[in-house]
Amino acid sequence: MGYTDFWYDAVPAALQADNIYLETSLIDIMNISKAIERVGAHRILFGSDYPESDLSLELEKMAMIEMSDEARAKILGENARELWHWQ
Amino acid sequence: MTIVDAHAHIMLEPYASLSPIEPEEVMDGFARYGVEQAWFSSGDALVLNQTDYHRRANDRMAEFQERFGKRFLGLTTVNPRSGEEAARELERAVSELGLRGLKLHGWLQPVSCTDPCLEPLFETAQRHRLPVLFHDGTPPFTSSLQIGWLAERYPGCTMILGHGGLKDLAVTAAQTARRYENVYLQTCATTLLSLRRALDVVGPDKILFGSDGGFANLRWIDYNIRKIKKWNLPSEVEQKILGGNAARLMHD
């Protein structure tokens, strides 16, 4: 989601093009919250960027963000499942 | 375990999409996560190059320092491109108000480390042997080696790479801190893998914990502390990074 240099552009890009998804690794919780609010949970994917970051740390970060159970389920797995047509 | 957060912000006025959080609430947030002292700069004043605004901001930072005691350590913000005017404001903030360091954001303010306009400011900072906390890792003005160039010119200042080179310049940041005795690394927004590599290069005495927290969701402080804990460092090393190094730096 743009990480450190291009986080300004990530949400506007996703708003402009429906086929852009945003991924959460290394991004701060304020900007993930903003992306959920503006783009919607249906186009956000959880990621850890392991081994750059730590899977449990990135999961704990997601738990710090207030969102509905439905949104959380989408971000943590359902969106990826749908994207890859997993059964 | 003493935790010193050497990279915190407080919003004094609304800026962009950010609104101020009451100072008491900010301080409660840091206390909730076990931070004994945080080094604050004004998030909004930092990026508004207006000397009147900086003067008011520095006055308020001094008020907070008085109100919250050792839990709040205030860093000065100035308009770095204003040359002698910036130097005068830094002198006032340190000598009259008792602020303890300088924060610069060469990307957003913006100013190049090599711009001669910075000379009066850094001569003043060096005279007071101030720590200078930089945003770093974002080209074209805040690369680690550019800040290293300043470190060589002003050896009396301690230069802190506030993001340890972020991701792209993390290797360069570690090498810069290794090369210059007065350059330190900080942990916020740096990846865990980069930090592990940096520790091998610079050792445990020149890495400072920082969260970049205080101006939005205060849980970000918690995330950044957890990041250090995930490192699984020997307790002596973890203590240095989480607080010992910062305490030594401010009291030397």
User: Per-residue pLDDT tens for B48-107?
Assistant: 889 999 999 999 999 999 999 999 999 999 999 999 999 999 999 999 999 999 999 999
Domain count, chain A: 1
Enclosing H/E stretch for B192: helix B192-202
| 3-state class (DSSP) for residue B208 | strand
Residue at A77 is within a domain: yes
* Residues B230, A34: C-beta atoms closer than 8 Å: no
Mean pLDDT of B38-45: 95
List per-residue pLDDT tens for chain A, 87 residues long.
988 778 889 999 999 999 999 999 999 999 999 999 999 999 999 999 999 999 999 999 999 999 999 999 999 999 999 999 987
Residue at A29 is within a domain: yes
Among residues B50, B41, B227, which one has the least CA distance to residue B130?
Answer: B41
Which of chain B's residues have a Cβ under 8 Å away from the Cβ of A52? 167, 191-194
* Averaged pLDDT score across all residues of chain B: 95
Residue type, B24: E
DSSP code, position B115: -
DSSP string, B185-225: EE-TT--HHHHHHHHHHH-GGGEE----BSSS-THHHHHHH
What pLDDT band is residue B217 in, cutting at 50, 70 and 90?
Answer: confident
- Helix orientation angle between B84-95 and B119-127, rounded to the nearest 10 degrees: 20
Q: What is the ipTM metric for this complex? A: 0.92
User: Per-residue pLDDT tens for B173-215?
Assistant: 999 999 999 999 999 999 999 999 999 999 999 999 999 999 8
Instruction: Quote the minimal CA–CA distance from A54 to chain B in Å.
Output: 7
Residue at A49 is within a domain: yes
Residue at A67 is within a domain: yes
Residue at A11 is within a domain: yes
Enclosing H/E stretch for B31: helix B23-32
Are B60 and B12 within 8 A, CB to CB?
Answer: yes
**A7 in contact with B at a CB cutoff of 8 Å?**
no
Burial category of B170 from C-beta neighbours within 10 Å (exposed 0-12, middle 13-18, buried 19 and up): buried
Residue B252, pLDDT above cutoff 60: no
Q: Of A30-34, A47-51, B154-158, B248-252, which range is least confident?
A: B248-252
Is the pTM higher than 0.90? The answer reads yes
CATH fold label, B3-243: TIM Barrel (3.20.20)
Determine the Cα–Cα distance for residues B124 and B115; give it in Å rounded to an integer: 16
What pLDDT band is residue B230 in, cutting at 50, 70 and 90?
Answer: very high
Which of chain A's residues have a Cβ under 8 Å away from the Cβ of B138? 4-5
Backbone angles phi, psi at B238, to 5 degrees: -60, -40
**Residue pairs spanning A and B at CB distance below 8 A:** 58
* Residues A4, B163: C-beta atoms closer than 8 Å: yes
Query: Taking the domains of chain B in order of start, what are their residue ranges?
Result: 3-243
Residue at A1 is within a domain: no
- A37 lies in which domain range? 7-83
Among residues B43, B26, B44, which one has the least CA distance to residue B35?
Answer: B26
Identify from B32, B226, B229, B232 which residue to disrupt to test chain A contact, counting A C-beta atoms within 10 A and taking the largest count: B226
